[in-house]
Chains A and B, each alone.
Chain A
Amino acid sequence: MRTQFCPEIDTDANPRFPVYADGNFGEVAPDRISPLSWSLIGDPVEAGVRRVLRRLLPGATWLTGSHYLFVGYYGAKPYHNISAFCHAARHVPCLAPEDVMRAYFEDGPIPPVPADPVPLNRRLAAVPRFIRELGRTRAASVDLEAETLLLALHAKESDPATVARRAVSLLGEAWERHYAVTLMLVPVTTLQSALGTWCSRHWDELGLWVNRPRELVWDTRHDGATVPEANDFLARVGYEVADDLPPWSQYGRPSVPVDGENSPMTDTAIVEALGRPWEVLPFARPLLLPQLSGLVRDLLQLREFTKYLAMRVLHVLRGVLPELARDRAVPGDGWPYLTIGELLSGRDPHRLVPARRAACEDALALDMPGLLDFAAARESAGASATSRPRGVSPGQVDGFVVFSDSWKEGRWRITMDGQPPVLVCESADVNLKSLLPHAAALVTARGSVLSHIAILAREHGIPAVLGHPVAKEVREGQLVHVNGSSGEVNIIASQD
């Protein structure tokens, strides 16, 4: 098997950690992204994750080297290095690689990790560092928001190169904070689940209710916003900064604005009970389970907040990069084929465009798999051939199937025969946030327990099942039963 698909643009496969998956990219980022967008994600994410882990695991020699450790870019498709993330899990007490795979990578098969055991004392030493990192991340994110808003406010009146350089610096911080929270969420939720399961055999469902985050940043910052820039941001929330240029525009996931009545389906009695779950779990308080659950909710909220910050900075870059490209004499649609470093360096970057464009055309013609194992010469279509559906937001509802494209094209209906709509799609992220208040339930073919759409579904209080194969089988108009607690989705009737 090739170790590179398009040598002109691909990153090199890591020789020690050879397994990659598109999980948590595949349902978030566009399926393919331009080299420029990759340079705004891959490099800062790599640097940010290394900085975080060096603080948490000082002296870890495996966190060095010139190969990308945690991300990869093959055939114009972004990947996470799941072997490296699973290896990091081994250094944290109460955490195992399968916890990472379940939380973020669609419960896929665990990649081989180095066999040398990590001493217990070294694992335990990471605990106080985790606590300090938790305490540090919130404050840093609040400061970062102020910087981000200032950048957005002054972008139009400043020199594009200056804005771009500042944006790249802030983007690095935003990704670092986002991955810091993402990394810390796994051991905290794993510990919570262990304690919760000890308290109650119904914890699997109870935990979904308890882990409902408070109001998320997408609404608190933009609900009713009348500032044009803010509305433009919400309409183009995504990782691809060249989303209005072909061929990258066809891979984008545009946000879907929608007008219409809400179709609230949340069981108010259960929602009210959310505040009192500890009354039915007598052993929960001494175990600090309520406090731990509060921490989970706050971390979920912070995760969305840090992602929001990264998206805001990307949106600023979306606005200045075309002008910067003109200043650098790069042809009109050529700038997405350069990296941000090349565009800012000012050293005749336009000469690189023809070869990169050709390489990207070759790359986009490839059918890139969801899983890449460069050691075993193995690839497969999805992150896991045996991934199982997961209920990620509790509740049950019957409703008729509507695809997100129907909403976009205005063919949706509020109800059909008195039944509410169930939104069904391949994968979902913030781009579908505007539809959630109108949906009775959500079913996707891809996604993980801690993915963004799971957090959003819980925040909106709608039942959600991710990773269910029926999402690819149903037809629009069919009546389905969705159980967001058990993960079951059943077709009840077909539309005649």
Chain B
Amino acid sequence: MHRKTDGTVLESIQASYQRVTRQQRQLRDDDRIAEDLSLDSLAMMELLIEIEDRFEVALFDAPQAQQVETVGDLVELIQNVREAA
């Protein structure tokens, strides 16, 4: 089933990703974060911190964070955390 995620959130994640990695790359919902984005653990941490600051959310503490595997999952997580706040 095609997932429809918030384009604005995806664009912001993409901007953060490009700032952290200094690479121009289009992110897709089905990109796997661990396998496809070429991020080591420290870059991943840096990306999540930047996203937390940008969206003013706490991701490290969110229980659903453990299930995040794709970019689409991350977008959904951010949307859910923002709505719950």
Contacts and interface: CB of A to CB of B under 8 A. Distances in A.
In terms of DSSP, what is the predominant structure of the interface of chain B?
A: helix
Nearest to B40: A298
A294 B45 contact: no
Q: Main SS of the interface on chain A?
A: helix
A138 B49 contact: no
B41 A291 contact: yes
A135 B41 contact: no
A138 B43 contact: yes
A135 B49 contact: yes
A136 B40 contact: no
Contacts of B50: 135
B41 A137 contact: no
Given A128-B60, A131-B60, A139 B46 contact: yes
Interface string B12-50: 000000001000000000000000000011110110111
- Categorize the interface residue count of chain A: 10 to 19
Interface residues of B, number: 11
Contacts of B46: 135-136, 138-139
Contacts of B45: 131, 134-135, 138
Nearest to B34: A291
Interface string A293-305: 0110111001000
A132 interface: yes
Nearest to B48: A135
Contacts of B49: 131-132, 135-136
A135 B41 CA distance: 9
A294 B41 contact: yes
A132 B20 CA distance: 14
B60 A299 contact: no
Contacts of A135: 42, 45-46, 48-50
Nearest to B22: A142
Nearest to A288: B66
8 contacts: A131-B49, A131-B60, A132-B49, A134-B45, A135-B45, A138-B42, A294-B41, A295-B42
Given A134-B42, A135-B46, 11 more contacts: A135-B45, A136-B49, A137-B42, A138-B42, A138-B45, A291-B41, A294-B40, A297-B41, A298-B40, A298-B41, A302-B42
